[in-house]
Chains A and B, each alone.
Chain A
């Protein structure tokens, strides 16, 4: 993939990709960010990827090591932990050609979701996107991929269970908790029988 070289705005190691995505959204960057997960480096792997933006909204993702684009590309450099993020500004006109590559395009909320696991930021990004781009969030393959990740789903569920339990006591609803919810020890991760 050819992305026109941009003007480097800043390059630093951040604890998580969400901070960069948020900043880029707020400053409405048109350009790209190169991500280099640092933990992958420690393991002796080079991992890096690029996400391009139009007015702060993600457009393309590309794994520069594996040379894969789109959602699969994004997953290639979704490594938790600190990442070096180099933010570049590019002229919108100069990016237009690259942005035509349909196969590399991603729904606007995906980088926040995949790189940072930040559903809130994903939603904020989608809300800020132009109407036509918001539709892309309904990428069926993204929904299927989400549902295929049983571990991530179990995490959402167990977090919600804990939250429900904590709030029940806040609200004086302890008494009406189901027996197995009251006794936290009885909850086994992965239970989805009910």
Chain B
């Protein structure tokens, strides 16, 4: 295990899930990558990865008396190990968020890079856990005031738990927008670096409809290029695998909310 990243934004619809899978595929060129849909309340990674009909999902690993093994919820797709989450509200309610720690610890043991697609909210324990568990966050922003403001909040939450910022991805940037100035200003408040400016692109929506990550559906698209650039800038840190597993073990009080 090298490093765990939470892909976060604080606000919905900025492109976290799109980014998680795009960064995952790009990083998979060099690393063993595991992607987890940790947005357990509003899971949608499964739709982006063609896993709508996945039998066992993260939800099945978060219940009290589970009979599924962690590996049952891991699907090899697009060169990555993908752990989707189900969309049933009942399953979400039955899930114990504290168990995410154990699942993540187990998955961390034999992968290089872990990407946690994180919830848009900060209002519950299950919503902040991905940010608590990760080593660093990647903040996905749109160049708008509400998105920047929510991104700042998520970053403060992360920092409160000792989770640093790896960098910022500006997503859904319009052709008439010049994010250079915004990125430079934002750089004063956000840690890490500006990883990329990803254009608004029809290919992204088409990929989602196809149930494929952008880099699989339209690898030549400028948005795909931008995500590859972001992945290249992400200086994945060499960590001691054992340390990480240990840290996950001691990380979260396994208590129900």
Chain A contacts to B: CB under 8 angstroms: 109, 113, 119, 122-123, 126, 137-138, 140, 142-144, 146-148, 150, 153, 156-157, 160-161, 163-165, 167-168, 171-173, 175-179, 181, 192, 194
Closest to B184 in A: A147
Q: Give the Cβ gap from A111 to chain B, nearest Cβ, in Å.
A: 13
Beyond A137-B145, A144-B181, is A173–B153 a contact (Cβ under 8 Å)? no
Q: Give the Cβ gap from B149 to chain A, nearest Cβ, in Å.
A: 6
A138:B156 contact, CB within 8 angstroms: no
Beyond A160-B157, A171-B125, is A143–B148 a contact (Cβ under 8 Å)? yes
Closest to B124 in A: A171
B148:A122 contact, CB within 8 angstroms: no
A138:B174 contact, CB within 8 angstroms: yes
Residues of chain B contacted by A156 (CB below 8 angstroms): 149, 152-153
Main secondary structure of the interface of A (DSSP, over half): helix
Q: Give the Cβ gap from A91 to chain B, nearest Cβ, in Å.
A: 32
Q: Closest 10 A-B residue pairs measured CB to CB?
A: A178-B162, A160-B156, A147-B185, A164-B160, A181-B160, A171-B125, A160-B153, A164-B157, A172-B253, A146-B145
Q: How far is the CA of A160 from the CA of B156 in the complex (A)?
A: 6
**What is the 8 Å Cβ interface bit string for chain B, positions 148-164, against chain A (1 contact, 0 not)?**
11001101110111101
Residues of chain B contacted by A123 (CB below 8 angstroms): 146
Q: How far is the CA of A123 from the CA of B161 in the complex (A)?
A: 28
Q: Give the Cβ gap from B104 to chain A, nearest Cβ, in Å.
A: 13
B252:A176 contact, CB within 8 angstroms: yes
B148:A171 contact, CB within 8 angstroms: no
Q: How far is the CA of A176 from the CA of B130 in the complex (A)?
A: 13
14 additional A-B pairs beyond A165-B160, A179-B162, beta carbons within 8 Å, are: A119-B145, A119-B146, A126-B146, A137-B144, A137-B145, A140-B143, A142-B145, A143-B182, A146-B148, A157-B155, A160-B152, A171-B257, A176-B251, A181-B161
B interface residues, tally (CB under 8 Å): 37
A173:B252 contact, CB within 8 angstroms: yes
Beyond A119-B149, A143-B144, A156-B149, is A173–B253 a contact (Cβ under 8 Å)? yes
Q: How far is the CA of A192 from the CA of B160 in the complex (A)?
A: 13
A176:B149 contact, CB within 8 angstroms: no
**What is the 8 Å Cβ interface bit string for chain B, positions 115-132, against chain A (1 contact, 0 not)?**
000000010110010001
Q: Give the Cβ gap from A193 to chain B, nearest Cβ, in Å.
A: 8
Q: How far is the CA of A176 from the CA of B152 in the complex (A)?
A: 20
Residues of chain B contacted by A109 (CB below 8 angstroms): 145-146
A161:B152 contact, CB within 8 angstroms: no
B255 located at the interface, meaning its Cβ lies under 8 Å from any Cβ of chain A in the complex: yes
Residues of chain A contacted by B160 (CB below 8 angstroms): 161, 164-165, 168, 177-178, 181
Q: What are 14 residue pairs bridging A and B, where the CB atoms are less than 8 Å apart in the complex?
A: A109-B145, A126-B146, A137-B144, A140-B178, A156-B149, A156-B152, A157-B156, A160-B157, A165-B160, A172-B253, A177-B160, A179-B162, A181-B159, A181-B160
Chain B contacts to A: CB under 8 angstroms: 122, 124-125, 128, 132, 143-146, 148-149, 152-153, 155-157, 159-162, 164-165, 174, 177-178, 181-182, 185-186, 188-189, 191, 251-253, 255, 257
Residues of chain B contacted by A119 (CB below 8 angstroms): 145-146, 149
Residues of chain B contacted by A192 (CB below 8 angstroms): 188-189
Closest to A153 in B: B189
Beyond A172-B255, A173-B253, A178-B161, is A161–B143 a contact (Cβ under 8 Å)? no
Q: How far is the CA of A34 from the CA of B251 in the complex (A)?
A: 54
Closest to A142 in B: B145
Q: Give the Cβ gap from A33 to chain B, nearest Cβ, in Å.
A: 22
Q: How far is the CA of A167 from the CA of B161 in the complex (A)?
A: 12
Residues of chain A contacted by B149 (CB below 8 angstroms): 119, 146, 156
B185:A144 contact, CB within 8 angstroms: yes
Q: Which of A138, A148, A153, A181 contacts B143 (CB 8 A)?
A: A138
Q: Which of A122, A150, A194 contacts B191 (CB 8 A)?
A: A194
